[in-house]
Amino acid sequence: MDREDESWGQTPLGWAVHGWRYPPLVANLADYPPVVGRLVAAGSRVRPEWREDRRLIGDRRMRSALLGTPSGAGSGSPPT
């Protein structure tokens, strides 16, 4: 689960977090928290800095996904 790609050194979870923080224009941000939650549930390592990141933790769905807790209502959008 935590194998890093050769080009950028990112894990699948790292790419999911990056995609949520810096989404392409056509992205549906509500799709990211469930993917993050599945990766965490499957054993992906959550980097300590993500647990302290205000943008990530400020969004209820991403916080729940990263911490492995039940999700509350949330927009799925990163705070501005």
Kindly write down the DSSP assignment for every residue of the chain, as one continuous string.
Answer: --PPPTTT---HHHHHHHHHHS--TT--GGGHHHHHHHHHHTTPPPPHHHHT-HHHHHSHHHHHHHHT----S---SPP-
The pLDDT value given to residue 71: 63
The answer to whether residue 80 scores a pLDDT higher than 50 is no
The pLDDT value given to residue 76: 47
E strands within 1-80? Answer: none
Domain locations in the chain as residue ranges: 30-71
pLDDT category of residue 73 using cuts at 50, 70 and 90 = very low
Residue 11 phi, psi (nearest 5): -90, 170
What value does the mean pLDDT take over residues 36-43? Answer: 96
The answer to whether residue 56 scores a pLDDT higher than 90 is yes
Mean pLDDT in the chain? 87
